[in-house]
Structure formats: structure tokens, C-alpha cells
A and B are shown apart, each in its own frame.
Chain A
Amino acid sequence: MDTHIQVKNLNVYYGKQQALKDINIEIPKNQITVIMGPSGCGKTTLLKSLNRFLELTDGTRIEGEVLVDEQNIYAREVDVTEVRKVVGLLAQRPSPLPMSIYDNVVYGMNIHKLKKDRKEYKAAVRHYLEIAGLWDEVHKRMHDPATSLSIGQQQRLCLARGLAVEPEIILGDEPTSALDPISSQNIESRLIELKQQYTTVIVTHTLRQAKRLADYVIYMYLGEVIEAGPAKEVFSNPQHERTRAYLEGQI
């Protein structure tokens, strides 16, 4: 297994409350890793430790290391904006920026000055909207406000916006939980298509989605990683009693 992200002795505290306890995991490159577990178990906290989103909340204390390509993203000399450029995030609720569809896709590229001129931006916008499976639906109304799209379309737009800054890793924080079944399926297919080129880490609370998407599984309970391994092994033969109970629907 080719490791892309390595979490070492990670402890996270919100004030006095400990949210993550001594996490040690390895996340494989160019596969879909699914973090699952009952609500409040620290799934989202673990996910957001990977793009340094935890520090947006006051009073969060983070100890330990998160290595992306063997570079600790919490090291002092690391630029947090570079981390977030490499590690994209698809949020739980679609969050189109209050601007046009076109400008949403351009936004991140423009922040990092990735393209030289309008022509390059236009081509890139088309490219990423196609990847996100949205081009056919929106190419005639690129300058409409992004909020005029349906929720499902908005989430695909957010995916395009995230991919446009050329990340290596995509994080998804229950990215389909606000969507209808057809839109969810659409997003899931995108993620499966994209896993050839991107390391993907998804948090989900639906076991069925985990089974559909996962190549690699992390099962968490009360801030601890109980079990982690290739999806086939974990789903067919869980090593830990708690994992078994969760998979059987007892937790």
C-alpha cells in the first residue's frame, strides 16, 4: 500500500474536552478511504485535522503530526494556505460563493494565480465543470448566480471549484447528506471516477454509502480509531468487537 497521509499520535482537544485520542493511521494514495462511526465519535474532527480546518475554532488544541507526502502539515514553516490548496474539502452543505457559476470555479485558481489569461481560465472552467459532470447543465448560463442552481448542482459546482486549484487530496465531510438520492448518486459516481487521480477521504454516517465507496475503512468510536484496514477485510471479517457491532447495526 502506497501511503499518502500518515497521522501520528494525534490528540485534539476542544477546550478541556478531548475529541481525538492518540490517532495513528495511514491513508492510502489514490483510493477512497471512508471514515465511519456513530455520531460524535470524532470522524469530522479527524477529517478536518487533515486540511488544518480545526484551528478555525477558538480553543482547539492539536498535538501530534499529520504527514502529507512525509511533510508534517502542522510544522511551523508550513504555509496553511498551501496545505489547503493540496488538500481540498467538499463540505457537508453545498456552499456556493455569492457570485456567478463561472466565478465560483475561477475563485481558487485566481487566488493562487494558476492561469495566465482569460482564455486559459475559460478553458479550465470548462474542464473542471466537465469533470464534475455539471458542464452540460450550466454552460449556457455561466454568469447566473451560483445560488440559482439546485442543491445537487451546487455540490457538484463546489467539487469543480475544489478541483480547480489542483489538489492531490479530496476530503468529503458527509458530502451527500444534504442531497436527494439522485444527486447523491451523482456525487458518488464522480468520487469513484476521480479516485484514479486523487486520494479521497470521506466521512459518512451511512453504512451503505461506506460499502459502496470504500477501498479503505477507518472505524472510529468515542474519539479513538478502533479499526482500520482495506474495506474488503473490515467489512467481511472485522477484527474488533465494536466494529462488528456497528456493521451489524447495533451501534
Chain B
Amino acid sequence: MSEIDTSQLISKTTGRLTRPVVASRARQNEFARRTFFVFTLLPVFLILTVTVALLVRSWPILQAYSLSDLIFGDVWKPTNGQFGFWPFILGTFWVTAVGVILAVPPCLLTSIYLAEYAHSRTRSIAKPVLDLLAAIPPVVYGVWGLLAIVPFVDEVLAPLSDRWLGPISIFSVNQPTGFGILAAGIVLAVMIAPLIISVMYEIFSTVPNDLRHASLAVGATQWQTIRNIVLPQVAPGILAAVVLGASRALGETIAVLMVVGNIPQVPTSIFDSAYPLPALIANNYGEMMSIPLYDAALLSAALVLLVVILIFNILSILVIQRMRSRKWA
């Protein structure tokens, strides 16, 4: 029966197996392709729009002051017309660095344990708990920081550091309030840990089991297998996970501003108060707008934050690509 159908079709369409239906299917396909393409372009478009908008709004201050005065100026007195971002930029970096340094080692160990050692039952309990940790709103972390971490830093860590590490300037206690970089770093570390762990875990599970088995089959221990085979394979991915965590930390606002002290100064110790860029913008935007150039200053602070995060991500992509190309296979 099907043979008859085919022959009829061929005779109708002069030997070519085309039907009107086919044309409409092709149109649908083309429509779908274009629609999806537009939505794929949207993020690129958004980044451009945001950047351009911030640039336009901060234009007045960029004309009044030189870029290096703004970025490297370390006095922030808007009422006197002094807009130096340096304390805020450094504050952002200090808080992020402390957060990442505190978070990465335990995250790496946790993800190695979950991906390589843990029984599937342990994994099925630990993973949802970690996801839950990621779902806690930042403001709750902020309150936890206020109630638990700030006193802990003030009453336990600061005296300890003062006694044992006092002479080292980055550990010296100059402002004994508990509010500061260390408290913010601890809160940030806990906040970014679930993200870093789950990305690292995914990366570990991309390593084919064949490789692990090849190593185990010659009598390597699990740890030797992890160290010699798995870790070299995942190194670029580990870095990517760290960068992702750091990007999140760079932009984290509310939890940080609740515990960091918010004093615009150039920090010299992890016990100093600081004032990261996101906190500056969130605390002040919409207020005191009568001060000349204040609005433009805050928006150029946002621009600086955006550019810092973009540069950071681009650099890390480049590093990861280099590491990948050096790898075997």
C-alpha cells in the first residue's frame, strides 16, 4: 500500500519528494531558530545597555574629575566634593579575598569527599542540605552575622589574634568592635560555600569512572587515584568554581553591609572595618541627592563594580582556557 502512495506522490511532483507540508515545516523551524536566537542575544544586549546607561549617568563626574583621581583617591567626603573610590574598591577586594580564602579549602575537601568517597546514601542526604543552605536569603545570613559572628570575632578571634599574631599588620586589631572584614569574610564564606561545593562536585563527576578504575586496577589507593588522576583533570574546573564563588562574593550586598562596619577607610588589617562598593551603593543611593554630583558618583561606583567583575571573569576564562589546552586528551 505504501508503495502505491509513493508512486502517486512522485508522479504529482515531477519526481521530487516535496510536499506543501514540508515548506510550512521549514518555515516553523526557521521561526523557532530566529526566536531562540533573539533570546540568546538578550544577555549580551543587557550587559551593553547596563554598561552604557551607567556610563551616561556617571558622565558628569567623569568630566569633573580625572578617572585616576576617582579610582585612586582615598578621601570620600561628598559634601566637600571629594569622591575617592579607593577605600571602597579595596574594601571589596579584602572582603572577597577573605571570604574566598576561608571558603575554598573546606569546600574542596567536602566536594572531594562527596564525589569520591561518600556512599550514595550519604550523598543523597548531604546534597539537599547543601542546596538548602544556598536557599537561605542573604538578609538571614546578615542577621546571623550580626548576632553570632560579630560577637565571636570581637570576643574570641580578635583577642586571640591580638595575643599571637599582633605584630603581623594584617592581623593586628586596631578597631575592636567585631564589625569588619573578618566578620564579613566569614559570613561570605558560608554564603558562597554551597555554590562552590556544588560546582566542584559536578566537575568531579565529569571525570569518567574508567580513569579511576584504570588507576585502582593497578593497586592505587583511592587517595592516590584522586591526587594523580582526578585532581589534574579537574584543576581548571576547580578554578572556575572558585571564580564563580568570588564573583558572587564581589557583588554580595546586604549580608556584608550588616557586619562590615561601613567606614570608608583604606583597610590594613582583617579586623578593620571596611566599606565595599555594593554596600556604598545600597546604603546611599536615593539619599542626599541634593549634594552635587552625588548621584553620578554612586552610579560610577556601580560602573567600577561592574567593570571589576567583568575583568575578573574575563581573566579567569582566559586562565581556564590556558589550563585546558595544557591538559592531555
The answer to whether A81 and B219 have CB atoms under 8 Å apart is: yes
* Choice from A81, A93, A145, A158 contacting B329 with Cβ under 8 Å: A145
Interface status of A1 (Cβ within 8 A of chain B): no
Closest Cβ of chain A to B325, distance in Å, is 13
* Contact among A56, A82, A99 with B219 in the assembled complex (CB-CB below 8 Å): A82
Q: Choose from B211, B217, B221, B232 the contact partner of A53 (Cβ within 8 Å).
A: B217
The answer for the CA separation of A25 and B45 in the assembled complex, in Å, is 69
Q: How far is the CA of A100 from the CA of B328 in the complex (A)?
A: 8
Q: What CA separation (Å) do A158 and B329 show in the bound complex? A: 16
Contact residues of B between 194 and 223, Cβ < 8 Å to A: 210-211, 213-221
Smallest CB gap from A171: residue in B: B217
* Contact between A111 and B213, CB atoms less than 8 A apart: no
Question: How far, in whole Å, are A147 and B328 apart by their CA atoms in the complex?
Answer: 8
Return the CB mask of A125-137 against B: 1 if under 8 Å, else 0.
0000000000000
Q: Given A58-B120, A111-B220, A145-B328, A53 and B229 touching (CB < 8 A)?
A: no
Q: How near does chain A come to B33, taking the closest CB pair, in angstroms?
A: 35
Give the residue of B121, B218, B328 whose beta carbon is less than 8 angstroms from that of A111.
B218
CB of B211 within 8 A of CB of A97, answer yes
Within 8 Å of chain B (Cβ to Cβ): is A230? no
**Any B CB within 8 A of the CB of A169:** no
Please state if A59 and B220 are interface contacts (CB–CB under 8 Å).
no
Q: Is A162 at the interface (CB under 8 A from chain B)?
A: yes
Q: How far is the CB of A148 from chain B (nearest CB, A)?
A: 9
Determine the chain A residues whose CB is within 8 A of the CB of B213 once the complex forms.
53, 56, 89, 91, 95
The answer to whether B217 touches A51, judged by C-beta atoms less than 8 angstroms apart, is yes
A95–B232 touching, CB < 8 Å: no
Q: Indicate the size class of the contact surface on chain A.
A: 20 to 34
Verify if A98 is at the interface (C-beta below 8 Å from B): yes
- Chain B residues with CB under 8 A of A98: 211, 229, 232-233, 327-329
Chain B residue contacts of A161, Cβ below 8 A: 214, 218
What are the interface flags for A185-223 relative to B under an 8 Å C-beta threshold, 1 for contact and 0 otherwise? 000000000000000000000000000000000000000
Name the B residues within 8 Å of A95 (CB-CB): 210-211, 213-214
B28 within 8 A of A: no
Give B281 Cβ to nearest chain A Cβ, in Å.
Answer: 45
Give bound CA distance, A108 to B216, whole Å: 9
- Cβ contact of A93, chosen from B120, B210, B220, B233, cutoff 8 A: B210
B169 part of interface (Cβ distance < 8 Å): no
Asked if B224 is an interface residue, CB under 8 A from chain A, the answer is yes
Does B217 contact A89, Cβ atoms closer than 8 Å? yes
* Residues from chain A with Cβ under 8 Å of B221 in the complex: 81
**A232 contacts the other chain (CB 8 A):** no
Give the nearest-CB partner of B224 in chain A.
Answer: A111
Task: Point out the residue from A58, A96, A107, A147 that lies within 8 Å of B218, measured CB to CB.
Answer: A107
CB distance from A199 to the nearest CB of B (A): 16
Whether A107 pairs with B228 at a CB distance below 8 angstroms is yes
- Shortest C-beta distance, B232 to chain A (Å), equals 7
Report whether B119 and A88 are in contact in the complex, using a CB–CB cutoff of 8 Å: no
- A99 and B228 CA atoms in complex are apart in Å by 10
Contacts of A58 in B (CB 8 A): 119-121
Q: Are B218 and A85 in contact (CB under 8 A)?
A: yes
**Docked complex Cα distance between A93 and B233 (Å):** 19
Whether A84 and B229, one on each chain, are in contact in the complex, defined by CB atoms closer than 8 angstroms, is: no
Q: Which of A59, A82, A98 has the most CB of B within 10 A?
A: A98
* Cβ contact within 8 Å between B217 and A88: yes
Interface residues of B in 94-148 (CB under 8 A from A): 119-121
Q: Which A residues are closer than 8 A to B by beta carbons?
A: 51, 53, 56, 58-59, 81-85, 88-89, 91, 93, 95-100, 107-108, 111-112, 145-147, 158, 161-162, 164-165
Query: Can you list 17 contacts pairing A with B, beta carbon distance less than 8 Å?
Result: A53-B216, A58-B119, A58-B120, A81-B219, A83-B219, A84-B217, A89-B213, A91-B210, A95-B214, A97-B211, A97-B215, A98-B229, A98-B232, A98-B233, A145-B329, A147-B329, A158-B214
In the complex, besides A111-B218, A111-B220, A158-B214, 9 extra interface pairs with C-beta distance below 8 angstroms are A82-B219, A84-B218, A85-B219, A89-B217, A95-B211, A99-B328, A107-B220, A108-B220, A161-B214
By Cβ-Cβ distance, the 4 closest A-B pairs, closest first, are A108-B218, A85-B219, A95-B214, A98-B328
